[in-house]
Amino acid sequence: MAISISIDGVTRSHGPVKAVDDLSLEIKAGEFFTLLGSSGSGKSSLLKLIGGFDRPNRGRIMFDGKDMADVPANRRPVNTVFQGLGLFPHMSVEGNVAYGLKLRGVSGKTLVAKVEEALDLVELSGFGGRDVNLLSGGQRQRVALARALVMEPGLLLLDEPLTGLDERLRQQMRKEFGRLHKRTGATFILVTHNQDEALSLSDRMAIMHHGRIEQLGRPDAFFDAPANAFVARFIGMDNLLQAERFEERAGKTIAVVAGQAIPLDCASKSTNVGASLVVLRSDRLTMANDGSSIAVTDNLTLQVVETTFRGLYRDVTLAFGDGQTVTAVCDVDGPPLLVGQEARVSLQPGAALLTSAAMK
């Protein structure tokens, strides 16, 4: 049965460092939830507290409403796949996968059937007798997954499980996680600093920083409304602009940047010049490759600072009169724009958002 998790005001300090800082979070039963954040943000620390490998200084962690404070790791309905795996090198694939079940007293035909089923789930049928030391990196990762899944946990914790794999294997394993999540119905919590992984797999995700959650929600919501400049930068929305003022025109909020009007998509947020930054979504900025305007209205006139060939498109860095820059995408047909030339950039609906300059 999938497990719901409730984290209530949890703090974990190491001397002066608060690895987890008064953090509260609800994870639904059966959800694929991702903790995303840079190195040292507290992701692994939080996962360890959930798994019962460490104890909070303050706050409570509940599974299906039951306080886990006095439940040790080996009595929690949890299995963990860590980075670096920790497979038993002296055991075969089968031996590794069967280990936990044997400890539980499972034996004979039931044991064999369960191990086979788990290996089948990770597409390693027939690999039972192999030496784990002779497997490829991806196969070893899948053995580690099978070893966790065979225990039929209600909660699976995945701590950077794809670290150290090459890009092709990462892609393959990523698909596998998605598939396994659907098939098992368990709650999955993934820790990663890889944004692609988080976006492609998660029902919901949280971006952590300094032991706190900066934003929580469905992956697409981060792009529609990044909570603050830190989150925007973290997810690659680097076009952040300081407005010189905000104005109301015909019921619309306009940001004025270096004398040019940028109509904002969200009128409800605070439009205090010091507290707010304008975010331009690069996927909603369009320009012709000769620099002429595409749309009749909502155009910006900017100066080309740099163009970078990216294969299927070109990145074009463009400057406002006050020196602030944004990057837009331009198609590769025809000659590239020239550095120093003027270009007309059209703002598609939803191109300009507002975000908070300050973090939580």
Give CA–CA dist 311/325, Å, rounded: 22
Q: Smallest distance, Å, CB 85 to ligand ATP?
A: 15
Output the six-digit token pair for 175. Answer: 């698909």
Q: What's the Cα-to-Cα distance from 135 to each of 142, 200, 252, rounded to whole Å? A: 10, 27, 60
Find the part of the chain contacting ligand ATP (CB under 6 A) among 14-22, 169-177, 280-288, 345-353. 14-22
Find the part of the chain contacting ligand ATP (CB under 6 A) among 12-20, 25-33, 111-119, 333-341. 12-20
Smallest CA-to-CA distance from 157 within 64, 81, 43, 71 is with 81
Q: Is 239 in the site for ligand ATP (CB under 6 A)?
A: no
Give CA–CA dist 347/239, Å, rounded: 13
Q: Is 140 in the site for ligand ATP (CB under 6 A)?
A: no
Q: Smallest distance, Å, CB 60 to ligand ATP?
A: 19
Helix (H, G, I), strand (E, B) or coil at 51: helix
Q: Is 80 in the site for ligand ATP (CB under 6 A)?
A: no
Give CA–CA dist 33/321, Å, rounded: 43
Q: Which of 30, 42, 95, 291 binds ligand ATP (CB under 6 A)?
A: 42
Q: Is 268 in the site for ligand ATP (CB under 6 A)?
A: no
Span 179-208, contacts to ligand ATP by CB under 6 A = 193
Q: Smallest distance, Å, CB 233 to ligand ATP?
A: 17
Q: Smallest distance, Å, CB 15 to ligand ATP?
A: 7
Q: Which of 3, 5, 10, 19 binds ligand ATP (CB under 6 A)?
A: 19
Q: Is 44 in the site for ligand ATP (CB under 6 A)?
A: yes
Of 44 and 239, which has the nearer Cβ to ligand ATP?
44
Give CA–CA dist 148/150, Å, rounded: 6
Q: Is 17 in the site for ligand ATP (CB under 6 A)?
A: yes
Per rule CB under 6 A, count of chain residues that contact ligand ATP: 12
Helix (H, G, I), strand (E, B) or coil at 200: helix
Give CA–CA dist 180/173, Å, rounded: 10
Find the part of the chain contacting ligand ATP (CB under 6 A) among 41-49, 64-72, 170-178, 250-258. 41-49
Of 78 and 101, which has the nearer Cβ to ligand ATP?
78
Q: Which of 23, 30, 34, 41 binds ligand ATP (CB under 6 A)?
A: 41
Find the part of the chain contacting ligand ATP (CB under 6 A) among 32-40, 148-156, 164-172, 223-231. 32-40
User: What is the Cα Rg of the chain in Å?
Assistant: 25
Amino acid letter, 77? P
CB 339 within 8 A of CB 306: yes
Q: Smallest distance, Å, CB 58 to ligand ATP?
A: 16
Give CA–CA dist 146/117, Å, rounded: 9
Q: Which of 43, 76, 147, 204 binds ligand ATP (CB under 6 A)?
A: 43
CB 70 within 8 A of CB 241: no
Output the six-digit token pair for 152. Answer: 């039929």
Under 8 Å CB-to-CB from 209, ≥6 apart: which residues? 37, 38, 41, 230, 359
Tell me whether residue 302 is exposed, middle or buried, using C-beta atoms within 10 angstroms of its C-beta: 0 to 12, 13 to 18, 19 or more: buried
Of 193 and 314, which has the nearer Cβ to ligand ATP?
193
Q: Is 16 in the site for ligand ATP (CB under 6 A)?
A: no
Q: Is 213 in the site for ligand ATP (CB under 6 A)?
A: no
314 Rama class: left (phi>0) / alpha (psi -120 to 50) / beta? beta
Q: Is 34 in the site for ligand ATP (CB under 6 A)?
A: no
Q: Is 39 in the site for ligand ATP (CB under 6 A)?
A: yes
Give CA–CA dist 307/338, Å, rounded: 8
Where on the chain is the footprint of ligand ATP (CB under 6 A)?
14, 17, 19, 37, 39-45, 193
